[in-house]
Amino acid sequence: MPSNPCSNLNHRRSDSLVRFCPQCGTVVNAHITTRYCSEANHARSRRNQNVFCVDCGDMLRRGSSPMARLRA
């Protein structure tokens, strides 16, 4: 398992239920296909205080995460 400075527990799970980490946006489960989301789904994710969408990986809140610069 590669080291990752993100504290989200999805990185430690071998069977993560989401494709992308909501904190740093990296792929945590490559076996799940990427989904295309609607703005309603992204709004729900923002209310859950996610920085990245767990389904498509899009950045939801710009400038709010110190981890965002590590994704590029």
Q: Note if the pTM is more than 0.85.
A: no
Q: Is the pLDDT of residue 19 over 50?
A: yes
pLDDT of residue 67: 52
Predicted confidence (pLDDT) per residue in 21-70, tens digit = 999 999 999 999 888 899 999 999 999 999 999 999 999 987 655 554 45
pLDDT of residue 72: 46
What is the DSSP-derived secondary structure letter of residue 2? -
Q: In the chain, what are the domain boundaries?
A: 7-61
Is residue 14 very low, low, confident or very high in pLDDT (cuts 50, 70, 90)?
confident
